Amino acid sequence: MAMKTDRKTGISILIGTALVLGICLFSAGCLSTSPDTDGGALDGTDTKTDRAPLLNGTDWQLKSYGNGTNEMVSVIEGSEITLTFDEDGGIAGSAGVNRYFASYEARGDALSFGLIGSTMMAGPEDAMMQESKYLKLLNETASFTIEDDELKLYDSDGTVLLVFEKIPPVTAESLKGKEWVLTSYNNGNEAIVSVIAGTEITLDFDEEGRIAGSAGVNRYFASYEAGGDALTFGVTGSTMMAGPEDAMMQETTYLKLLNETASFSGVGDELKLYDSDKTVLLVFKRAVPPASESLTGTTWVLDSYNNDNEAIVSVIAGTKVTLTLDEDGGIAGSAGCNNYFASYETDGDALTFGPVGSTEMFCDEPEGTMAQETIYLKLLNTAAGYEIEGDTLAVQDSTDTTILTFTAAE
């Protein structure tokens, strides 16, 4: 009888132990999750690649940093310090003057950086001091927190060292209404090369699914479609001016690469276009719009116009067409051969011109000057609105189609 009682007790102990282990495993309360554990997680996940998923693939811009006296100071106005965490345990960014790079390790809320390398350019003394301080604070980092779109880095005592704000990614929606300047492109030989010095290639997305810009020598235009990270362009049209051979070759390559575009990515002020194999084709930076010129008191020089055949064409080489609006409601200028004058009215972005008068000379050179002049004066009569961006004036008709594009005279 005693033996029977002991057996039951033993079975009860085994069952109780099994239940405790089951509950323990289910709740994970008995598993070690210490960030100091060197081995992989029990589910086979490599803790090194599973490091702080909130950091992987994110981009940040520094707002303030510790000055060593328990105070936070803002980044120098006009300087930009960034921090990008890649998916493979590396960081990179701008320290304000130089580019830097390093490895990182993150487990739980622990974060540390490896030896930091950087370029060796010189800059203003205050920017160099700020850069030196920033890189020193990175080396002292021991942990981090992320709340909303703010990243804070701390030292081993829990003192805040650096405060960043998240840099938003470029989306299909945020492309609209933005202008970008090309910095480098794929030359077809597996190399990304910089744009030729002295040339400027731009890409401007409007709100209606169209792009336009300068290809370096000629103006170009096309339609576009964007959704998710997909981006494609329609058939590209352009003006037909000639330029230096190297600039023309660059222009041809650029327009070809636009046609090969299949997707995009971007963060902050950088935009990259890729082909269907995810090869980088074009790299842009966000254009900083110059202060817009005044509509009145500025001499505007015609760059291109609508030739009545649904085509934007450049002004004939050797001719100069100008437009000046005075403060008293009058315009004057050269139509290429003859001088002209008229009245004008504005209301917001609306712009209309009165009947145009002109001198009556005839110019047989350059060829086509008189035909161009006739079209130009006719287009003035169909003007209904305008838009100024920087030093560019676009005049539109009643359908919001651009009919005349001017640049402010230097």
- State the DSSP string of 17-41: HHHHHHHHHHHTTTS---TT--S--
Q: Residue 151: is it exposed, middle or buried by C-beta count within 10 angstroms (0-12/13-18/19+)?
A: buried
Under 8 Å between Cβ of 262 and 274: yes
Same domain for 162 and 70: yes
> What pLDDT, on the 0 to 100 scale, is given for residue 311?
80
> What pLDDT, on the 0 to 100 scale, is given for residue 172?
87
Host H or E run for residue 187: none
Same domain for 188 and 153: no
Q: Which of 286, 317, 341 is the last residue of a domain?
A: 286
Q: Which of 139, 166, 193 is the last residue of a domain?
A: 166
Tokens 């640049």: give the residue: 407
Same domain for 212 and 256: yes
- State the DSSP string of 110-139: EEEE---EE------HHHHHHHHHHHHHHH
**Residue 54 domain-assigned (yes or no):** no
Same domain for 211 and 152: no
Q: Which of 259, 286, 313 is the last residue of a domain?
A: 286
Same domain for 137 and 217: no
> What pLDDT, on the 0 to 100 scale, is given for residue 57?
83
Tokens for 317, please give them: 């080489």
**Residue 183 domain-assigned (yes or no):** yes
> What pLDDT, on the 0 to 100 scale, is given for residue 289?
64
Helix (H), strand (E) counts: the chain: 5, 30
**Residue 316 domain-assigned (yes or no):** yes
> What pLDDT, on the 0 to 100 scale, is given for residue 56?
86
Same domain for 100 and 162: yes
**Residue 73 domain-assigned (yes or no):** yes
Query: Into how many domains does the chain fold?
Result: 3
pLDDT in tens, the chain (410 residues): 444 444 444 434 433 444 333 434 333 333 333 333 343 333 444 444 444 677 888 889 999 999 877 789 999 988 889 999 988 899 998 999 999 999 999 998 999 999 999 998 888 999 999 999 999 999 999 999 999 889 999 999 999 999 999 988 888 888 988 899 999 999 988 789 999 999 999 999 998 899 999 999 999 999 999 999 999 999 999 998 999 999 999 999 999 999 999 999 888 788 999 999 999 999 999 887 666 788 999 999 999 999 877 788 999 999 999 999 999 999 999 999 999 999 999 999 999 999 999 999 999 999 999 999 999 999 999 999 999 988 899 999 999 889 999 999 97
> What pLDDT, on the 0 to 100 scale, is given for residue 376?
97
* Helix ranges restricted to H, 230-327: 245-260
DSSP state of 13: H
DSSP state of 318: T
Under 8 Å between Cβ of 283 and 351: no
Same domain for 317 and 264: no
Same domain for 185 and 161: no
CA distance 70 to 140: 15
**Residue 14 domain-assigned (yes or no):** no
Q: Residue 260: is it exposed, middle or buried by C-beta count within 10 angstroms (0-12/13-18/19+)?
A: middle
**Residue 232 domain-assigned (yes or no):** yes
CA distance 108 to 75: 28
Is the pTM for the entire model greater than 0.75? no
Domain CATH for 187: 2.40.128.270
Residue span of the structural domain in which 184 resides: 172-286
Same domain for 391 and 355: yes
**Residue 28 domain-assigned (yes or no):** no
**Residue 37 domain-assigned (yes or no):** no
Same domain for 252 and 313: no
Residue 49 neighbours by CB under 8 Å, 6+ apart: 89
Same domain for 281 and 359: no
Half-sphere exposure in the Cβ direction for 184 (13 Å, CA) = 9
Same domain for 114 and 201: no
> What pLDDT, on the 0 to 100 scale, is given for residue 10?
45
